[in-house]
Structure formats: C-alpha cells, structure tokens
Amino acid sequence: MLLAQPQRVKEIAARAEELGVPRNSVNFKHVMPILYSLNAGRLNAKLSFLKKVMGCSEADLGNLVRKMPAVLSRSESKIGRAVEFLKAEVGLEPSYIFHRPALLGYSIEGRLMPRHCVLRILKAKGFLSKEISFYYAVNITEESFLEKFLLPYNKSVPGLIEAYAAACRDQVATEL
C-alpha cells in the first residue's frame, strides 16, 4: 500500500526524520507504518499529549520516538495510565521513563504492578540492600525474574511467590 503512493512515502520518511528517526536506523522501518496510519492532525495531537504527560522537551520527545516508535501507536489512555502508575506508585521521574520508553510498552497489570509489588516487599523486608533498577526488574524475562527476585527469598519471605501470583491476577497483596 505504501509503495502505491511514492509522494506519501517521501512525506512520511521526512516526518520520521523530523521526529528523530533517521533512515539508517533500525527503527525507521517500524516508524513508517505507524506514521502512515496517522494523519497529520492525529500525529500532532499524539505528540502534544506525549509532551504534556511526560513533561518532556522536543528533543526528549524525539529520543523517545527514536527508541520506541510504537509509543505513537499506543492509546493515550494506556500511555497516561502507565505514566501515572510509574510516577505515582513506583516513584519514577519522567526523565527516567522517557530514557527507558520500553516501560510504556508493558502491561500495568501483567508486568509493571506485579514486579513492583515484589520489589516493594523485598525492600520493606530489608532484602534488597542496593538500589535495584526498576527497568532491569521489569525488562528481564519471567524466568530470570523468578530466579533473581522470587526463588532466593522463598523461605525468608513466606508468601512472596503467592503475592506475586496474586498481583499477576490483579489482586495486589497488601501485607506479608
């Protein structure tokens, strides 16, 4: 479909570069269909929303889109909920989030909240002596998360695995 309209392809490619996604980057091929699906008004509205909710500059917005073009295809409500959760519940600064835009691609209920729950419990019990990167804890595979954050503390923190399972079912454990 894109190839049938060469002028439109040129316009979209130019817009991608304006947004900070150069033609020689890996993400250029990912941003093209996203930009094709958004008309200029919708794209500008999405960019304005991202700047407002993230509290970022044009340059930061360009970095965010360059690193994760899919953010342009996510709904404003999902992005808003994710940013609100990451800021209010996890305590992350907007700059931390827009330097790690993959955080906006994860499900709150399926990954962000359950892993935050485990980290919060382990910190409260004094088992995490050094500051653990939330991004690291969220970005690793399920198997690695279990090996690093659940299994080693299974006996020391009874109910931790159950709390994680409950949080994954969207039933946050309040006490352990």
Asked if residue 6 has pLDDT above 90, the reply is: no
Of 56, 76, 104, the position where a domain reaches its end is: 104
In a domain? residue 175: no
pLDDT digit string, tens, across residues 46-72:
999 999 998 888 888 888 999 999 999
Give 5-12's long-range contacts (Cβ < 8 A, gap of 24+): 8/36, 12/36
pLDDT value of residue 131: 81
- Kindly state the average pLDDT of the residues 6-21: 90
Which CATH number characterizes residue 23's domain? 1.25.70.10
pLDDT value of residue 3: 60
Alpha-carbon gap, residue 176 to 168, rounded angstroms: 16
Asked if residue 176 has pLDDT above 60, the reply is: no
- Kindly state the average pLDDT of the residues 104-129: 92
In a domain? residue 173: no
In a domain? residue 174: no
Q: What is the mean pLDDT of the chain?
A: 90
Select from 156, 105, 102, 147 the least CA-distant residue to 127: 156
Of 77, 104, 131, the position where a domain reaches its end is: 104
In a domain? residue 64: yes
* Segments forming the whole domain that contains residue 10: 2-104
pLDDT value of residue 151: 94
Residues 10 and 94 in one domain: yes
